[in-house]
Structure 1
Amino acid sequence: MKKIIALTTLALAAVAVQAKDIVDTAVAAGDFKTLATALDKAGLVQTLKGKGPYTVFAPTDAAFAKLPKADLDALLADKAKLAAVLTYHVVPGNVMAKDVKAGKVKTVEGSELTVSTRGSGVMVNDAKVVKTDIVADNGVIHVIDSVVLPRQ
């Protein structure tokens, strides 16, 4: 009986110290419910739970709310377009805020984001980076205030 209790305690301790992937980190932050729903609908949850590393420019729930409701509903209903929009927010590698440089950066979607510095802030296309360096075990999240859309 003591062996079983000891093994159970060890197993629970291992789970408690396990690092979180990008998806779990975003969900735990609490301000990415729409993003989590969109990742699920696009079939990208397992990808962002994968090895990585990934840098994700993550729009908050408020950022998604800036989209007209009809446009957001249509996007959530179109798995291929949704996947393209979401992977446009992801850059391969682990890019911390101190390593960000102005210029074009290729996304997982295949096209480029434009990163610029304006005053004291960083912009990704027309979205402002409002929080940086949320570290996950398979990459990093930078929070943005708008959804960025790939050029069609």
Structure 2
Amino acid sequence: YNVSEIEELVFIANNSELQIGGLLFAGILISSLGAVMDVSMSVASTINEIHDKNPDLSRYELFKSGINVGRDMMGTMSNTLILAFTGGSINTLIWFYAYDLSYGQIINMYQIGIEVMQGLSGTSAIILTVPIVALISSFLLTTNVQIGDKKKAA
């Protein structure tokens, strides 16, 4: 629980039902949510545009196109996420430099563990988002649904 404002959180947890571990976990999930939403909207929008230009494509072809586009996004968004976490902890990095800490000391600090967990969870989320969104989008776009008077793809 080596996070900022831990004393205040411990005080609040002692007087309520707040679970600090759950709070840390929620923070890790929320920190990667923006990147996941960005990737999912980009993949879904791309698949929709491809379907609009060629509605005769099969579900598999749309899925494959989504994966191809998403593959490029996975690399760039993962790097963006890692760099955002690093930028957010620039004060900690300066602190490490100023005190001339050894590699062993740095790698065993809780702050580094938290940053690694955020980076891994965000990267994993992005990697899992691409095939899931590509699958759902390709399925919905190739399933015809009657809406009002017009026949549209969902």
TM over 0.5: no
TM-score with structure 1 setting the length: 0.23
TM-score with structure 2 setting the length: 0.23
Structure 1 or 2: larger strand share? 1
**Structure with greater Cα Rg:** 2
